[in-house]
Amino acid sequence: MGSPLRVLIVADSEDDALLLVRELKQGGYDPVHERVGSAEALAASLRAQPWDIVLCDYRLRGGDGLEAVGILKEAGIDVPVIVVSRVMGEEMAVAAMKSGAHDYIGKDSRHRLIPAIERELREAALRQERRRTEERYRQSEEKFRLLVESAPDAIFVQIGGCFAYVNPSAVRLFGGESAEQLLGRPLMERISPDHREIFRERRRLLTEERQKVPPMVQKYLKLDGSVIHVEASAVPFSYNNESGSLAYLRDITERMLVEEKLTESRESLRKALGATVEAIALMVETRDPYTAGHQRRVSDLAGAIAEQTGIDADGLESIRMAGMIHDIGKISVPAEILSKPVRLSEIEISLIRVHPQAGYEILKDIEFPWAIAQIIRQHHERMDGSGYPQGLRGDQVCFEARILAVADVVEAMASHRPYRPGLGLESALKEISANKGSMYDERVVNACLEVFAAGYDLPIM
């Protein structure tokens, strides 16, 4: 069984039509055919159903066969048309091709019919696929255009340093009323002067190196000169066969203003918190005049040690803040015990040892940005579990408290106390060195020794 073929034959004679059908069958086709004898009948058949190919006699009774060919051309129907004739001269062949025929077959060249049909069917299939591809591309392009045109972010194309395309959001971003206010204008006009050097380097990477650049916050200028903050990202892009870049901008001006206000508010709260902590520290020192300045010196030394260990900025601030009020629990200790000029009894010592827990109880419900209460509670704990009030050991003691413990011991031993003169810095450093890794964290002790070796000055009181 041959290949199916829907063929419309335009001819006066049924015999001529059957002759063509026979040739098609001999050529390997299984044709489904219809014969029409006029241009009008041809038009009706074309409207009724699709055809694979049209075979048209050059001459018809009552008209020219080429008139029928012209109907297909005018209708824009892409069906291959082959003109056949008993007599086909050069003039007739030229006329047939001008009218829209794809090929012509004379009486002496009927052997060309099947190859001509095969060729025209292939080319028709290629044209159809090309149209489908073009339609898919058109739909894709239309979808892309709609997406870009309706995108909430500003999108523009830059070619040669100038705006080559801007979407409506970009026009609004720059405070314009139409794209014409931007198109063809230098993009540099819209870049804040303090960001132009960065912009030049990014444009070079995009257009010359063809590299994608990372998103960054930049300052742009609106058409009225006002500054806007945008989050900008861009990729290399070719537009009309020219190299450029495709950029996406998101207006974050309002967000930046909110963040600035939040930063100012946080800084204000931080200052207020610092002032409050200093007031608390002063209150503690008022009850214990012999240790006046102790908390401040411990805070400063603990901060220096923390920096040496490489702790982050947030951890550093928490240590300094905790150091400023680490003895707040001494409020619960009678003032006469704190200032007693002789060595304390065991009972009195036990009362003083309550102060880390008392400090925790005072501060635990205050919402500090850090675990201040916990650091204060643990600043007398030791790595071997010999400390108080909980007898914690090793990693049970938070790192900030380990730093504060070393700073507290060094300052306390080096300074004078009501019941003894100061033992001196050398003795204090020997104490922490001798107990490094047992009572005190080894890393913290090493950092402390490095701080003093670098010239740190601890005022002796």
Tokens for 443, please give them. Answer: 């890393």
Question: At 127, is the pLDDT very low, low, confident or very high (cuts 50, 70, 90)?
Answer: confident
Q: How high is the pLDDT of residue 2? A: 78
Higher pLDDT, 62 or 155: 155
Q: How high is the pLDDT of residue 64? A: 60
Q: Is the pLDDT of residue 43 over 90?
A: no
Q: How high is the pLDDT of residue 57? A: 78
Q: How high is the pLDDT of residue 287? A: 64
Nearest to 218 by CA among 201, 231, 202: 231
Q: What is the mean pLDDT of residues 416-422?
A: 70
- Rounding to the nearest 10 degrees, give the CA dihedral for residues 252, 253, 259, 265: -170
Nearest to 323 by CA among 333, 331, 315: 315
Q: Is the pLDDT of residue 75 over 90?
A: no
Q: Is the pLDDT of residue 180 over 90?
A: yes
Q: What is the mean pLDDT of residues 329-349?
A: 74
Q: Is the pLDDT of residue 78 over 70?
A: yes
pLDDT for 271-324, tens place per residue?
A: 766 676 677 667 666 666 666 688 889 999 999 999 999 999 888 988 998 888
CA distance 315 to 129: 67
CA distance 75 to 39: 13
Q: What is the mean pLDDT of residues 243-253?
A: 89
CA distance 261 to 244: 38
Q: What is the mean pLDDT of residues 147-167?
A: 89
- Per cent of the chain over pLDDT 90 is 31
Q: How high is the pLDDT of residue 107? A: 63
Q: How high is the pLDDT of residue 92? A: 66
| DSSP string over 89-120 | -HHHHHHHHHHT-SEEE-GGGGGGHHHHHHHH
Distance linking the first and last C-alpha atoms of the chain: 114
Contacts of 79 (CB under 8 A, 6+ apart): 8, 46, 50, 51, 52, 53, 54, 72, 124
CA distance 160 to 40: 58
Q: Between the CA of residue 219 and those of 101, 161, 166, 230, what are the distances in Å?
A: 63, 17, 18, 6
Q: Is the pLDDT of residue 73 over 90?
A: no
Tokens for 340, please give them. Answer: 């007693």
Q: Is the pLDDT of residue 42 over 90?
A: no
Q: How high is the pLDDT of residue 87? A: 62
Higher pLDDT, 39 or 299: 299
Q: Is the pLDDT of residue 27 over 70?
A: yes
Q: How high is the pLDDT of residue 222? A: 93
Q: Is the pLDDT of residue 460 over 80?
A: no
Question: At 74, is the pLDDT very low, low, confident or very high (cuts 50, 70, 90)?
Answer: confident
Q: Between the CA of residue 385 and those of 127, 378, 379, 393, what are the distances in Å?
A: 88, 11, 12, 4
Q: Is the pLDDT of residue 207 over 60?
A: yes
Q: Is the pLDDT of residue 128 over 90?
A: no
Name the least confident of 83-97, 239-253, 293-307: 83-97
Higher pLDDT, 160 or 349: 160
Q: Is the pLDDT of residue 186 over 80?
A: yes
CA distance 39 to 9: 11
Q: Is the pLDDT of residue 440 over 90?
A: yes
Q: How high is the pLDDT of residue 63? A: 57
Burial 397-407 (b: 16+ CB within 10 A, else e): bbbbbbbbbbb
User: What's the chain's Rg over C-alpha atoms?
Assistant: 46
Name the least confident of 28-32, 63-67, 272-276: 63-67
Q: What is the mean pLDDT of residues 332-336?
A: 73
Higher pLDDT, 195 or 369: 195
Q: Which residue has the tokens 């055919």?
A: 33
Q: How high is the pLDDT of residue 90? A: 64
CA distance 49 to 119: 23
Q: How high is the pLDDT of residue 389? A: 93
Mean pLDDT across the chain, nearest whole number? 84
Q: How high is the pLDDT of residue 225? A: 92
Query: Which of 23-27, 71-75, 377-381 has the largest mean confidence?
Result: 377-381
Higher pLDDT, 65 or 446: 446
Q: How high is the pLDDT of residue 61? A: 60
Q: What is the mean pLDDT of residues 376-394?
A: 93
Q: How high is the pLDDT of residue 206? A: 87
- Structural domains in the chain, CATH included, are 3-132 (3.40.50.2300), 151-251 (3.30.450.20), 257-453 (1.10.3210.10)
Q: Is the pLDDT of residue 375 over 90?
A: yes
